[in-house]
Amino acid sequence: MKKRTALIFLLILSLLLLTGCWDYTDYDDLALISAIGIDLDKNTNEVIVTLQNYVPSTVSQQSSGKSIPISGAVKAKGATFTEALSKIQQARRKKLFYAYLNVVVVGKNASRKIITDTLRYFERSPNIRTTAYVAIAKGTAEDVLTTMDPNVSVTIGQDIHGMIDQSPAAGSAFPVSIEDFNEKLAISGIEPVAPLVTVKQTSKSKTDKSSESTEDDGPIKFSKLKEGYQKINGMAAFKGENLVGWLNVKESTGLGWILNKEMSPYEEVKTFSKNRIQNTIAFSVSKSKSNIKVELVNNKPVITVDTHIEANLRKFARDMKVDYLTPDALTSAENGLADKVKSEIKAAIKKGQKNLKTDIFGFGFAFYRKYPSLWHSQYEKKWEDTFADIQINVNVEAKIINTGDSVKKFVPK
Amino acid sequence: MDNEGKITHGQAAFLSYASAAGNIVFTFTFATSIIGRAFWVAVLIGALMNIPFALWILYLGKSQQGGTIFDILETGLGKVVCKIIIVMYLLLNIAIAVCMLNMFSGMIKLYFLQFTPTFAIMLFIVLICTIFANSGIQNFARLVEILGLLFTVNYFFGFFLSFFKTFKMEYVVPVFDTSSIQFAKGIMISAGTCGESLMFLMLMVGSISHTKKHYWSVIKGLVSWSLVLAFAILIMEGDIGQELLSAIAQAGVPVARVIQIGDFVRGLEILVLLTYQYIIIEKTIMYIYSSYESLKKLFHVKKSIWLLILSALSIFAASVFVNSYNTGYFFSVFLGSYVILPFVTLVLMLASFSVMIKKKKNGGQLK
């Protein structure tokens, strides 16, 4: 009898404990955030947060008559990032939910001052995945997140996330997650980078001034979307916690080669004649691998970057004086490709070492791995100065894996 | 030989394996900040350092087959010394259990059940584990065998997937970028924290039929755990780097969150959480069982459901009173660094002394 009573008691207790009611939230009560924008007001030093969320049930009718889902954007200003978030929540019926976050866009001003504190917030918050990408806006993050391509049927956050995913194929950038960014901020001898996102608006702002709240604790603005498009066209380079400059597409490709970022852009090599359309050899890079070697020569660090590229030939130049793509002809094309890649790597190094003076390549980290005690005793503290003057050698070896469907140059009649 | 209530070789191995998987699964990150990249090696050595102590316990157990270390103490040194040691053991055991329960509940609350009160999570775990502890060591040893296997498979299935994309060898090499003092300190911390297994072994030895034959089983269990833990830390270090690893709370779960394969597999924390769930169930059973056995010895009773309830309640009440992940974490670091191993050494020295007295009384013969 006692055992039966105890069992019934346990079952009743389990019913109370196992229902999970405490944590129940209806899916419809969640505002799924797709992108977060962070800006800094230079005058007031306040943080401006723009949230762009999924609104799957709402569609807008475009002039073409085509229905596309719109994603609302709302922004708020606060003394801190969390204060701004709280203000947005005040004006939202649904609970802000970040598990579906695709991208965090940080404006130029915020990147120069508050990026670390903000990203550390993401790292500590369990409901934000640090696999979301980081992108730096050349202007404001708000502009990026309130501009939408009318032909795209996904949210702006998803769109930018997709563009960043595809950026290695264009050679313009490579993905950097919040986690990657934090790792680079924490490890000495390597500085963080993030994709650069620019925006082009094709229509003027349709923001209705009347939609701005006039609450005492600061304005909350519901931004109407502007037509336009975003583009990933370069990388933003940091020194420590601060943004120091931009890398253009060529420099970003070079950085990608050095950092083994699975870049797979089309590469073009011009031959002898001036006619670029006819006399260009085009390659599609399929594989790349770089090794950073560190040596001490006369007690000074010397870095050697050895890069191996594998590519497919996609177009052969008309003015090459060969009929068949023989091994000799391919060697010549391979040398051309190697020179092209070398120039990209050198451009990146020049920008990082001489102009921006920031070790985004991780040469310091490579030095530490080779000479850990020397790094701690002599170089760690003054690497910033040492890096600007070290000798960096670049060797590139290119190999054409195939020439597509043809082994012979096409000769029109 | 009567084998009733005795455990098999396999069960001895699994109990040794699972009993070492205690607070160290959460607090290893603290020692990472002291040693740096070489921590996984320090853990390996530290966990292996428990083997001589384990053999010492088994050797002492041989002198009084079927008796626990407390029985050995009582025979040679008398009831008073034995009771003092039991009270100390009891308090330490409850303290370790409270740390682990708080850390686990904190983790569950942070990632999965954010609005569920902590006491409810703790109550559920303590309730289940009390039922298992009541069934006796032979029965819960069977459960430990299954859970031990499951948590190991889960742990590595989750972390192995990181080798596709997340793992970076450069975060691991060079391994020995640390000073010898820091390295030794790390070894001591991990040896101390893994020393929880020795506390359980002090009681488990009473359930071993032939202590001499079980030497190898216990060694197998402890060696397996040291390899599993060291390898898991190595993978975690390769995933996020020791700089971030040394700062994280919630141990393997945040690391598993960054593992990504393509767009659809983002974060494998559920696998690692299950691992921690299995570990907490195993360990809480052991903590309750250890408290129960010590209370039985303290009050000289053979079986009492009230003492079992008292053991469970004391762990539960103290855990609810503490109710903090951070307190559990830092108190556990303190216990692992300064308390567990010195206490085990003291008890084993007293037990050895007790055996010597007993030998002397019997004219050099153990009976």
Q: Give me the half-sphere count of Cα atoms (radius 13 Å) on the Cβ side of residue B201.
A: 36
Per residue in B278-326, pLDDT (tens digit) is 999 999 999 999 999 999 999 989 888 899 999 999 999 999 999 999 9
Same domain, A144 and A124: yes
**Residues A226-237: what's their mean pLDDT?**
92
Higher pLDDT, residue A133 or B245 = A133
Distance from CA of A17 to the nearest CA of B (A): 6
Q: Is B266 an 8 Å CB contact of chain A? A: yes
Q: What percent of chain A has pLDDT over 90?
A: 44
**Which residues in chain A are contacts of B123 at CB distance < 8 A?**
17
Same domain, A261 and A231: no
Q: Is A412 a domain residue?
A: no
Same domain, A206 and A340: no
Distance from CA of A8 to the nearest CA of B (A): 14
Question: Which pairs with CB-CB distance under 8 Å and at least 24 residues apart come from A51-57?
Answer: A51/A75, A51/A85, A51/A88, A51/A96, A52/A145, A52/A146, A52/A155, A52/A156, A52/A157, A53/A96, A53/A155, A54/A100, A54/A155
Query: Looking at A214, A239, A264, which one is the last position of a domain?
Result: A239
pLDDT tens for each residue of chain B, 367 residues long: 455 668 888 899 999 999 999 898 888 888 888 888 888 999 999 999 999 999 999 999 888 888 899 999 998 888 999 999 999 999 999 999 999 999 999 999 888 888 888 998 999 899 999 999 998 898 899 999 999 998 888 887 878 888 877 888 889 888 888 888 988 988 998 899 888 999 999 999 888 887 777 888 999 999 999 999 999 889 889 988 888 888 888 778 888 888 877 777 777 888 888 889 999 999 999 999 999 999 999 998 988 889 999 999 999 999 999 999 999 999 999 999 999 999 999 999 999 999 998 888 876 655 4
pLDDT at A215 over 60: no
Give the per-residue pLDDT at A14.
74
pLDDT at A204 over 70: no
**Would you say B327 and B84 are in contact if contact means Cβ atoms under 8 Å apart?**
no
Give the per-residue pLDDT at A153.
82
Q: Is A364 a domain residue?
A: yes
Q: Which of A137-141, A364-368, B136-140, B257-261 has the lowest mean pLDDT?
A: B257-261
Same domain, A287 and A383: yes
Token pair, residue A406, equals 């043809």
Query: Looking at A215, A239, A263, which one is the last position of a domain?
Result: A239
Closest C-alpha among B282, B309, B342, B1 to residue B144 = B282
Stated pTM of the model? 0.86
Q: Is B326 an 8 Å CB contact of chain A? A: no
SS3 B131: helix
Question: In 3-state terms, chain B is what percent helix, strand and coil (to 5)?
Answer: 80, 0, 20
pLDDT at A209 over 50: no
Fold of B9-361: Amino acid/polyamine transporter I (1.20.1740)
Give the per-residue pLDDT at A181.
92
Same domain, A231 and A274: no
Strands (E) in chain B, as ranges, are: 260-261, 265-266
Q: Is A298 a domain residue?
A: yes
**Would you say A228 and A131 are in contact if contact means Cβ atoms under 8 Å apart?**
no
Same domain, A272 and A198: no
Q: Is A302 an 8 Å CB contact of chain B? A: no
**Which residues in chain A are contacts of B240 at CB distance < 8 A?**
179, 183
**Which residues in chain A are contacts of B243 at CB distance < 8 A?**
183, 186-187
Q: Is B264 an 8 Å CB contact of chain A? A: no
Q: Which of A106-110, A132-136, A348-352, B36-40 has the lowest mean pLDDT?
A: B36-40
Helix (H) or strand (E) holding A61, with range, is strand A59-61
Q: Where are the domains positioned within chain B?
A: 9-361
Q: Is A4 a domain residue?
A: no
Query: Looking at A212, A239, A266, which one is the last position of a domain?
Result: A239
Distance from CA of B25 to the nearest CA of A (A): 19
Question: CB-based burial of residue B359 (10 Å sphere; 0-12 exposed, 13-18 middle, 19+ buried)?
Answer: middle
pLDDT at A206 over 60: no
Beta carbons of A22 and B173 less than 8 Å apart:
no
Beta carbons of A186 and B257 less than 8 Å apart:
no
Report how many domains make up chain A: 2
**Which residues in chain A are contacts of B127 at CB distance < 8 A?**
10, 13
Q: Is A410 a domain residue?
A: no
Strands A280-297 and A300-315: antiparallel
**Which residues in chain B are contacts of A132 at CB distance < 8 A?**
none
Nearest-angstrom CA–CA distance, B248 and A217:
35
Q: Is A6 a domain residue?
A: no
Higher pLDDT, residue A335 or A65 = A335
Give the per-residue pLDDT at A71.
60
Token pair, residue A105, equals 């866009």
Same domain, A219 and A358: no
Same domain, A172 and A192: yes
Beta carbons of A23 and B114 less than 8 Å apart:
yes
SS3 A327: helix
**Which residues in chain B are contacts of A17 at CB distance < 8 A?**
120, 123-124
Q: Give the residues across from A61 on adjacent strands.
A: A67
Distance from CA of B49 to the nearest CA of A (A): 28
pLDDT at A192 over 90: yes
Q: Is B173 an 8 Å CB contact of chain A? A: yes
Q: Give me the half-sphere count of Cα atoms (radius 13 Å) on the Cβ side of residue A82.
A: 7
For residue A182, what is the nearest residue in chain B, using CA coordinates?
A: B244
Same domain, A274 and A214: no
Beta carbons of B177 and A365 less than 8 Å apart:
no
Same domain, A312 and A283: yes
pLDDT at A410 over 50: yes
Nearest-angstrom CA–CA distance, A374 and A305:
21
pLDDT at A284 over 50: yes
Prediction ipTM score? 0.82
Distances (CA, A) of A399 to A222, A223, A288, A306, A310: 53, 51, 10, 14, 5
Q: Hey, what amino acid is at B179?
A: S
Q: Is A10 an 8 Å CB contact of chain B? A: yes
Q: Is B362 an 8 Å CB contact of chain A? A: no
Domain that holds residue A163: 24-239
Q: What is the CATH number of the domain that holds A398?
A: 3.30.300.210
Nearest-angstrom CA–CA distance, A403 and A382:
48
